[in-house]
Amino acid sequence: MAGNSGTGIEGKRSARHRRIVAELELKPSLRVSELAERLSVSPETIRRDLDAMKTEGLIERTYGGAMRRRSLEPSVTERHNMRVAEREAIARTGAASLIGTTHLMIGSGATTVHLARRVAMTMNNLTVICHSFGVATVLSLNPTITVLIAPGIYHAGEGAVHGAATVRYLESFRVDWTILGASGLTRDGPSDALIEGAEIYATMASRSERTMVLADSSKFNLAFPARWAEWPEVDCLISEIAPKGPLADAVSEAGTDMLTAQ
């Protein structure tokens, strides 16, 4: 009976957390008293919920309440100049895991451009399908790599294409590995700030034998609007340090390999 009781309590807590996120979608900032009234629980319960949700990266705490987490991230051009050492280390580890591969898909993002540059330096005679102009540019430095770039609607901030034409193009291929970045990682899986981008990542992952996620630790416990996979669908996560807490538990329970870049 104790186990059932615990499950019931956890279920109610998860339901409250989902409701709080939904309420913040309607009104970006709410006070504890407002949430307590809307959810018919005590202010103390709401405060505990908000503290837990902040730890998981689901919301931002404010004085006396909470606000919706910012769903935007810097443009890919800005991100290229951030956490460069970490991204280069992640790229080295990722490329080493791909030796012997002949067909890849690579998603957009700053970390995936680092990975593509490393692939161009260390691998030969492979075909890479991508939707990012930055990825295509660095791969083209190696004349033995055949680069196929998808058609679609150009997103200037991401330097990549998306849309129905992109999805249809990607669906016609099957590859050994798909390598993707993420705006945020939570126990629910990787997510992206761009809903259009997440659609492309989900398609790429579905057309691959194995999926690799590259993300530095600043992405840990950040939740963004568009989740494109659950952890059982991800074969390998590479970061410069290993996550802890609920995120680490979710990755481990899913059987996702966790590689730490040095």
Along the 262 residues of the chain, how does pLDDT read in single tens digits?
344 444 577 778 888 988 888 787 677 688 999 999 999 999 999 999 999 888 877 788 888 888 766 544 555 555 555 667 899 999 999 999 999 999 999 999 999 999 999 999 999 999 999 999 999 999 999 999 999 999 999 988 789 999 999 999 999 999 999 999 999 999 999 999 888 899 999 999 999 999 999 999 989 998 888 899 999 999 999 999 999 999 999 999 999 999 999 7
Write down the pTM of the prediction: 0.71
CA distance 121 to 118: 5
Listed in sequence order, the residues at least 6 apart from 76 whose beta carbon sits closer than 8 Å to its beta carbon are 108, 109, 110, 113, 134, 157, 158, 159, 160
